Structure 1
Amino acid sequence: MINERFECEILRASRIRLFQLMETSNYEILFKIPAGFNNNIIWQIGHCITSQQRHMYMRSGLPMYISNEFMESFKIGSSPASWKITPDVNEVKHLLIDTVNRLELDLEAGLFVNYTPFELPIGFQVRNHVQALQAANYHEAEHSGVIFTYLKLLFNN
C-alpha cells in the first residue's frame, strides 16, 4: 500500500531544496537561459508546481491553487519566450511550499474522490490521485536535475 504521507514528505523535501536554491540565487541566474536551452530555472520550478496542480487537482475535478495565468506561463510547451508578463519570484517561492501544505490538508480531508486518467509522455498511465502524486515526485526529480545542470552551465560561463 502506498503511503500518501511519505509521498508528501518527498515532495516537501524536493520543494524545500528548490526554495533554498531560489533564496540563495540572484534574480539574473533564475531568469537566464543557458545556451542551447529554451527555458530557465524559474520556468523549471514553476512548471513543477503547475504540473503537480494539474495532475492532482484538475484531473480530480478540484480547483487548483494556482491562477490560470500562472498555469499558462508554466504548462508544458510554454517557455519564457511565450510569457506575457515576467513571473513574480516571490509568488513562485510561496507556491512551492503552500501547494504542498494545501495538498496535505486536502489528502487528510479526503477530497480526492474522482480522477480522470491520462498518459504520461513516458508511456505510463496515471489512474488516480496517488499515482499522480508519485508521478509528480518523479517529474520534479527530473526537473531538479535539469535545474542543477543549468546552474553548472551558468556558473561555468
Structure 2
Amino acid sequence: MEKRHEVLFRQLEDYRRELLRVVDGLTEEEADIVPKGFNNNIRWNLGHVYLDQYLWIQHVTKEPIPIPEGFRDWFGFGTSPAAWHTKPPSLFVLKELLAEQPTKIREWYGERLEEEFAPTESGMHTIAQVLVRTIFHEGLHLATIQRIRKFL
C-alpha cells in the first residue's frame, strides 16, 4: 500500500474509535430511543454506518461483500426502526462488527485503493475515493449520534 493512502486508513480507524467511544456505556434501551425531531435511533445509525461502508465499496467494485442477513432491511438508505418487523442485532454485535470493519477493509482492499473501476453516477471509480466519501458520511452519523445522546 502506498504511504499516501495510509492517512485514509488512519482516518477511518480514528473516526471509528470515536464513534465507538461515543456509544460506550449506552444501554440496549437507550440505543432504541428515537427522540422527537429525529427519524432514527442510535442503533439504526450504527448499523447504517457499517452497511454504508460496504455498500459503497460493493457499488464501485461490483464484487460481493459478506453483509450480515437483514442489514439491508434494517439499516439501508430510507429504512427506519419504525418499520422493523424483526429484531435487529444487539448493540454488542453492532459494536463488534464496527470495531473489526476498518481492519477488514484494510486487509481486503489495502493494495487495491487505486484500482480503476467503472465510474459511479457520482464519478467515484476507486476504493480510495469511496473511503473519502464513507469517512465523511460516518462523521455525519457520528454527529447525529452525539445529538441523540444529548436527549437521553
- Provide TM-score, normalisation by structure 2: 0.86
1:6 offset after TM fit, Å?
A: 1.2
Q: In structure 1, what is the Cα distance between the partners aligned to 2:114 and 2:50?
A: 18
1:98 offset after TM fit, Å?
A: 1.6
1:18 pairs with 2:19: yes
The size of the alignment, in residue pairs, is: 150
The alignment yields a C-alpha RMSD, in angstroms, of 2.3
Equivalent residue for 2:97?
95
Q: In structure 2, what is the Cα distance between the partners aligned to 1:84 and 1:114?
A: 39
1:75 offset after TM fit, Å?
A: 0.9
Structure 2: unaligned runs, 5 residues or longer: none
Identity across the alignment (%): 25
Q: In structure 2, what is the Cα distance between the partners aligned to 1:53 and 1:26?
A: 26
Runs of 4+ in 1 over 6 A off after TM superposition: none
Over 3 Å counting, the alpha-carbon distance change for 1:84 and 1:116 in structure 2 is farther
Q: Deviations over 1:58-80 (max 9, x none)?
A: 43122223224112211110010
- Provide TM-score, normalisation by structure 1: 0.83
Deviates more, 1:140-149 or 1:83-92: 83-92
Structure 1: unaligned runs, 5 residues or longer: none
Contact 1:34–1:150 (CA under 8 A) maintained in structure 2: yes
Equivalent residue for 1:59?
60
Aligned residue runs from structure 1 range 113-152, under 5 A: 113=115, 115-119=117-121, 124-152=122-150
1:18 offset after TM fit, Å?
A: 1.9
Q: In structure 2, what is the Cα distance between the partners aligned to 1:57 and 1:130?
A: 13
1:112 offset after TM fit, Å?
A: 7.5
Contact 1:60–1:113 (CA under 8 A) maintained in structure 2: no
